[in-house]
Structure 1
């Protein structure tokens, strides 16, 4: 069955398409009698107007745009769950853009969101390059950064203290008596999560009189595969290592996979602590000890800041915690 269009409504109500559009968007310029005719036609035809199309007239699209560097992994899943929870409750829709960490693709999506007249943009978990920030500011659309920071202070962000979180993760291993501790970090130039987490790890070792050296750190990319390649290299370079801190749960799962293949007993022969506290961490064998990053809450807060105009539009630092399970 063909869905009715705005033209069908206008024809049945014997008015212009522009008049139907004005009624749909609660604009003035028509009589009560005309409004009643249009609403009756809408009901008879069971017409459902497109939210974005309505927004082109009302400038109120009730749509939030989301820019993510990847769609795999629990960070993206948990963040989107939080965003969807708040937007759905408030009758907003979302447009999800997978940038694949590609500069050209990111710029194209930013411009696309502007063309779609979204009411707000969430830019998550990727480096905010100068050209991205300039384009976002040029759109004059409220934008929130999640798990990243801008070049200037013009775009508010939602983060945790990655340095402190990594510091306390490392302390948990030290408290268990470990002295030969390694780390699988994020990319070496990753300013958002890689650099601060590596700095926190190193400082915890230094504060406790333990060795800090380059051969104790492997630079991964937060994926399961880089967890396996990381522990393989670190074990070769540090045969006496007894504990490892990874900058993501996915990389920690790679370590657990390696341990299973090598028949290493966790945590007696190798202690592991991850970062994120994703659903995967609860389901791993054994269940993973990890830094709890309130990812879903970040998504909820980001959506809330864009939709609820009473929320102060400023940087937010959320609390992290350590979730103790069975790998340390």
Structure 2
């Protein structure tokens, strides 16, 4: 059986095609009785309006583009869950582009999103260069970054204050009586998640009157399990007296827990560890990980809602700061 067309609906309801079109697209010039009749006919016949045709009428594709690295990652998955929740609640579609591969991929995907005539762009967990920002401006659509760093400071952003969140993580360890505290970090050259979290660590120690020892901050290439495992091994070898550790991601923290176990060090009895991110992983390990939650689902939902508001109003969003929170579990011991 062929899919019903707008012409079929008009014939069945005994109205003009123009009337059906106006009703479907929330136009004017029809009675409430006629609207009820047409909508009942649409439902009965299973008619689905062509999204492209509707876009030609209202000048919108009702689609937003999301540029996101590592779609299989826990952070990306939670952010995307929030984005889709907000988008679908407003009848919007989402095109997700995986930018994790080689250079040039991001620009290629931006060109694809331009061809698809998306109404707006969410740029997630990566580096928004001037080149990318300029291309999006030429597209003529709003953009919001999510947990990302932008060379264009005017770009609205939705993210946690990383320096403050890291400060609170180390302060939590200090409040539990720890003073010998190490850190496993991202690279200090990482302006998104590396440098700000290190600064938060340093400031918390400074405010407590504890001198900063740069050798107690160790990093590798990223924020992943193996990075945490290797960095923790180095840190414990160089500073065997530390009683607590701040890891700048949950994966780093789990890597550190594994490294500690391999050295016969018990968590939290001999070493307390606090993570960062608040992903599902933090609740899946033993002992369950105390962590700083970035509330990624809320982050994605907020960003999508702000973007859709900008699309409808034409007003550039001011972005938003998402409130972090410390989730206490079993990986930190009070001295």
TM-score over 0.5 for the alignment?
A: yes
Unaligned runs of 5+ in 1: 29-34
Is 1:320 the equivalent of 2:291? no
What is the distance in 1 between the residues matched to 2:88 and 2:44? 27
Q: Which residue of 2 aligns with 1:233?
A: 234
What is the distance in 2 between the residues matched to 1:134 and 1:182? 41
**Native 8 Å contact 2:63 2:92 kept in 1:** yes
Give the direction of change, closer, same or farther, for the CA distance of 1:18–1:239 in structure 2 (3 Å limit): farther
Deviation at 1:234, TM superposition (A): 1.9
What is the distance in 1 between the residues matched to 2:156 and 2:203? 28
**Native 8 Å contact 2:183 2:216 kept in 1:** no
CA shift digits 1:289-328 (9 cap, x unpaired): 1112121111111111122346871031222222221111
Give the direction of change, closer, same or farther, for the CA distance of 1:52–1:219 in structure 2 (3 Å limit): farther
What is the distance in 1 between the residues matched to 2:210 and 2:90? 52
Q: Which residue of 2 aligns with 1:258?
A: 259
Q: Which residue of 2 aligns with 1:156?
A: 156
Q: Which residue of 1 aligns with 2:205?
A: 205
What is the distance in 1 between the residues matched to 2:126 and 2:139? 19
Unaligned runs of 5+ in 2: 29-34
Q: Which residue of 1 aligns with 2:32?
A: none
What is the distance in 1 between the residues matched to 2:114 and 2:93? 15
What is the distance in 1 between the residues matched to 2:127 and 2:331? 31
**Native 8 Å contact 2:306 2:319 kept in 1:** no
Matched residue SS, 1:183: strand
The 5-angstrom pairing of residues 39-118 of structure 1 reads: 46-52=46-52, 54-100=54-100, 102-118=102-118
**Native 8 Å contact 1:120 1:306 kept in 2:** yes
CA shift digits 1:49-92 (9 cap, x unpaired): 44345425532211111111211322111111111111111111
**TM-score scaled to structure 1, two decimals?**
0.84
Matched residue SS, 2:228: helix
**Native 8 Å contact 2:130 2:152 kept in 1:** no
Q: CA RMSD for the aligned pairs?
A: 3.4
CA shift digits 1:12-35 (9 cap, x unpaired): 99xxx999989976789xxxxxx9
**Native 8 Å contact 1:246 1:252 kept in 2:** yes
Q: Which residue of 2 aligns with 1:31?
A: none
What is the distance in 1 between the residues matched to 2:117 and 2:20? 21
Q: How many residues align?
A: 324
Q: Which residue of 2 aligns with 1:272?
A: 273
Give the direction of change, closer, same or farther, for the CA distance of 1:246–1:40 in structure 2 (3 Å limit): closer
Give the direction of change, closer, same or farther, for the CA distance of 1:232–1:72 in structure 2 (3 Å limit): farther
Matched residue SS, 1:209: coil
Q: Which residue of 1 aligns with 2:173?
A: 173
Please identify, of 197-206 and 269-278, the stretch whose mean Cα deviation from structure 2 is larger.
Answer: 197-206
Give the direction of change, closer, same or farther, for the CA distance of 1:181–1:280 in structure 2 (3 Å limit): same
Q: Which residue of 2 aligns with 1:125?
A: 125
